[in-house]
Structure 1
Amino acid sequence: MNFIDEFRSKDTILAFKKLIEKNIKNNINIMEICGGHTHSIMKYALPSILPEQINFIHGPGCPVCVMPRERIDIAIKLASNKDVIFCTLGDLLRIPGSKISLLELRAKGADVRALYSPLDVLKIASENTDKKVIFFALGFETTTPMTALLLEKVIEKEIKNVFFHINHITVPAAIHSIMQDENVKIDAFLGPSHVSVITGYKIYEDIAKKYKTPIAVSGFEPVDIMQSVLNIVLQMNESKFEVFNQYKRAVSEFGNTKAQALVNKYFKPCDFEFRGLGLIKNSGLELRSEFSIYDASKIFDCEVESKKESKACICGQILRGLAKPYDCKVFAKACTPKNPIGSCMVSSEGACAAYYKYSKVM
């Protein structure tokens, strides 16, 4: 099977469209948790293909988007240290802090590096033994095993100049927080793809039952999403609230148990402040106490005073599913990818970035 063309087939997409139109009875608000799904939905103009009764709501599954300003300011403070090589992943460099971004700090001379793989830290540390290398780890369950593996390698190789600032978070905790908001109206979820490869799909069963919301763990291609929407429609018609594993080619019931064991070996749950969602109990991870000698938050000064978010930015409402990018007065005006005001426009997985990039097809 061709894992690209088969899942972008126009005929298959239109076949699912007909089945959805035939079976849909009521309006359905579907939250796609993952930012990758948001981009696929916009890229392939699925809202214009699907019946008007299907309304996609964009969730908090963009790890850079939900990073609060305080943690951005902590990253900037750590990176400002002349003895530090600051390393991280993704779009974090472009998110505005209270005064400056990491990208602007790098332009001023700070040694700030965006990595392709966390394991690149090993080479950086060995080539710069006179420097302290800080890995600012972030992401949901997808990237957490990579951080755990890096720490294991650092310990095995007895590397003394690598430290970790942990900002890993978990999907189920964020979903529970959103569903407890009385203003949020969500009928079903598209479950995250990459996260579910690690966690497995079984972890969503209690969410589906508790909130009576069908969950379809979906791949990223348009056929994947259309099939998942059809399943949600059929479940709603039959008053079923189950987890459907559409992404069987990558996701299993219990996930990658070896990766889970590695994460549990080095991390424990902690409370975490999400941008837009607030403090969520046991939604984050931190290093276990026996590995505190590698914990940058305990070794370096991480005290910061952060300014409040721009009043013009509604990223917080978008991440809670209470608004869409078009509802923002500065979207595509004062706030663009080249001049982002909020994190949802910065990140390659952000909802605002998706709307801005693909708005011509809508």
Structure 2
Amino acid sequence: MKQLTKIAYLLLITVFITSCEKQTDDLPENSEMFKEETKVPDLNELNSVGDAIIAGVDIQTYFNSLPKREILSNRPSFSQIPIYSGLNFFFDSEDFHCNDLPTESFDQTINNTYPFDGYGNNILDENTDTYFISPGYILPGISFESGYDEYWGLYIWTDSYYNQDKALFENGYEDLIIKFTNNNVTSVSMDISSWNWYTYVSMDVYGDSGYLGTSTINIPSTYDGQFWGVTSAESITKIVLYDSYYGGGFVGIDNISFGNCEDIDGDGCLNEDDAHPNSNISEFLSIGEYSTDIENNLVDCGTTMADQIDDLLEEINEAYNGDNWEELHRKFTRELSKITYGWRKDRLITRSERSQISSWAYGSDIPSYYDID
């Protein structure tokens, strides 16, 4: 009887141990549990470098996952198209003696975002109006675009660790295209970088006559922008930038200066004879906080209609002491009426537009809340 009891106990112990081992086998190893808790994003699911940044993926890790693309066959060939003799390239800012040109640095844009919201075209210029970009955020006379048809074609990147402050990057394999719309640009400079290190970035320069030439710079293991500049005897209409190693894409730009050294604002009046060498060449007039659809035309050599408004605003604001608002507001509307009388006389505006301007001026907050930059 005792032996039967011992056998029964042994059987119970054996069943208990076997059950525990089975439960232990069903549990994942500690390393597997850790992996499940810290899932790494699938690089194949990332559409662009911008997505990688948002997902917290190291940029170089993302690049290592990409296949190398062959150089595109439609690049200009030096053997087929001669380089324009009037083109000069610069690789040091001290050698580029044209430092007072209008400069686009994307300061008014939002950090780390796609400038487009998926609606409308994907061209970034002074008229871009999306959730992230408002009209006037980009300087007039210049536009930026990517070959991507999707909204993620361009990306505004800010990262203090990598020394980037609102630089514009092409977000994939496509070209970054800069166009100049006023046909008066003969000098361009910018800081160029790439999301891919140890590579080369090429710039194809185009003018009224077509392709003018190509310049290439080396991108080291840093995101610091490399200075590059170009001057041309012929107006520059377009610059196409691309990563030479990957065959396109991934190029970043910032501090793009453009214009004509002898006529900085491009209004047709040389600097030495120009009363406003940095004219306000916005497409439309603004009256204080009111944006209008009235075109900003040239009044005379070196002076636009917007220049005359800005001059008056500067005079009014300088006289404002906090207690003389009504007096200065009346003076502003009175003096602006004199200016618009001249515009109407010269047929720069219609009678209806002059009335609209007077109405906007009367309802404006000038001088209280308006300052000249």
Same fold judged by TM-score > 0.5? no
> Structure 2 length normalisation: TM-score?
0.21
From the CA coordinates, give the structure whose radius of gyration is larger: 2
Structure that is richer in helix per residue:
1
Structure that is richer in strand per residue:
2
Report 1 or 2 for greater relative contact order, CA contacts < 8 Å, sequence distance ≥ 6.
Answer: 1
> Structure 1 length normalisation: TM-score?
0.22
